[in-house]
Amino acid sequence: VSGRVVLPTGLEKSLTAQILHTYETRLFPSAESIEVKRAFIEKFATVLVSEFPDWEVDIHVFGSSVNGLGSSRSDVDICLTTKHRMLEDVFLLSSVLRKYGMCTYCVPRARVPIVKAWDPELRIAADINVNNTIALHNTRMLQTFVAIDGRVRPFVMAVKHWTKCRDINDAAFGGTLSSYAWATLAIHFLQTRQPPIVPVLHPPAPSLRADKCTDASPVDLTFDDDITRLRDFGRDNTESLGYLLYAFFRTYAFEFDYRHQVVSLRNGCYLSKAEKGWDQGRPSRIFCIEEPFSTWLNLAHSANETAVEGIRQEFQRAFCILRDGGSYDNVCEVY
Ligand code: GTP
Ligand code: MG
């Protein structure tokens, strides 16, 4: 799958330049957007102290505001940790935020219940959960990958930008894939280059059969985050950003076997659906991207067969545009 793909002469350099231009001018978060996020977190902390003066509540920012993959338009993801479990009731948190002029929407029955908030004053959106700390670990994992090789950040951000423009980055309401699923897929692609650009960070472990685990199953949170040793791991690979994006589109347009393969960032390879017990029922028909920590979960479960076909067509469209000499901007034309 990672065999050399030929990119028409001259296009590789120009595509790399286009990606870097978009990254530097439109994707890299502006100083103003970073300031708005800081102001929101400060305001949110003040609200919590005013409403719950005697409660110890810690605020952890996670997701793309801190993993290096956020743009100016990304939301803020917040995890509150507290021993006051009353706060786990998302409706309580929602009503408090409304008192302070925020618009809120609760998603109480998700695997991770959240409050979605919109601050009309600062014009920023936030997703807030209480006591669900697993995402703090996968945020640190993404941060580690970003720090290993200078291509990771612009490459994953270019992929995320394309998915947002083409309306295939909305797991909750659009039935496609989340930013986290896209980032996992993109980094796995860099991991499976020859030679690889990023390493496997997780310790070897028997692949857990998806049908033998539940949300209560223990999760091994360890992974290698020794940046000093890992930095420049990918120096033997000289592939350009343009070439990587072209090859990424081609892989998922024509080469990846959606029926039988599972993307595994934890193992740095493709697994078979059969070995994970995903060859039966719904997973046998859809896209499978293993969650690197809770390996029995499929990060792409939100996309049904029709959505997966739509996503595959988007890969084909993007590949054909580049093959025919189109630009990254053409690829990202808003749907
Ligand atoms: P943008 O907001 O689109 O820039 O990207 P993001 O990485 O912040 O994505 P999002 O806001 O959708 O999710 C925030 C974080 O929650 C991700 O970075 C992950 O750390 C975590 N997360 C999202 N979806 C999942 C999931 O399905 N499983 C797990 N374990 N964590 C998730
Ligand atoms: Mg986010």
Placement of tokens 């929101």 in the chain:
40
> How many other C-beta atoms can be found within 10 angstroms of the C-beta atom of residue 155?
23
Q: What's the topology of domain 31-134?
A: Beta Polymerase; domain 2 (3.30.460)
User: What is the chain's pLDDT, residue by residue, as a tens digit (335 residues)?
Assistant: 445 677 876 889 999 999 999 999 999 999 999 999 999 999 999 999 999 999 999 999 999 999 999 999 999 999 999 999 999 999 999 999 999 999 999 999 888 999 999 999 999 999 999 999 999 999 999 999 999 999 999 999 999 999 999 999 999 889 999 999 999 999 999 999 999 999 999 998 766 677 777 777 778 899 999 999 999 999 999 999 999 999 999 999 999 999 999 999 999 999 999 999 999 999 999 999 999 999 999 999 999 999 999 999 999 999 999 999 999 999 999 98
Q: Does residue 163 have its Cβ closer than 6 Å to ligand 1? A: no
Q: Which pLDDT belongs to residue 5?
A: 73
Which ligand has its closest atom nearest to the C-alpha of 135? Answer: 1
Q: Which two tokens mark 195?
A: 């030679």
Distance 179 CA to ligand 1 centre (A): 6
Distance of CA 160 to the CA centre of its chain: 8
Q: Which pLDDT belongs to residue 4?
A: 67
Q: Phi and psi at residue 107, in whole multiples of 5°?
A: -120, 80
Radius of gyration of the chain (CA): 20
CATH 3.30.460.10 in the chain is located at: 31-134
User: What's domain 11-27+149-331's architecture?
Assistant: Orthogonal Bundle (1.10)
Q: Does residue 145 have its Cβ closer than 6 Å to ligand 1? A: no
CATH 1.10.1410.10 in the chain is located at: 11-27+149-331
Contacts of 21 (CB under 8 A, 6+ apart): none
Ligand 1 atom closest to Cα of 164? 3
> How many other C-beta atoms can be found within 10 angstroms of the C-beta atom of residue 39?
14
Overall pTM surpassing 0.90 (yes/no): yes
Q: Which two tokens mark 205?
A: 């472990």
User: Does the structure's ipTM exceed the value 0.90?
Assistant: yes
CA distance to 142, 198, 237, 276, per residue, from 192 (Å): 16, 8, 11, 20
Q: Which pLDDT belongs to residue 1?
A: 47
Q: Which pLDDT belongs to residue 208?
A: 65
Which ligand has its closest atom nearest to the C-alpha of 173? Answer: 1
Q: Does residue 70 have its Cβ closer than 6 Å to ligand 1? A: yes
With H, G, I as helix, E, B as strand and everything else as coil, classify residue 273. Answer: helix
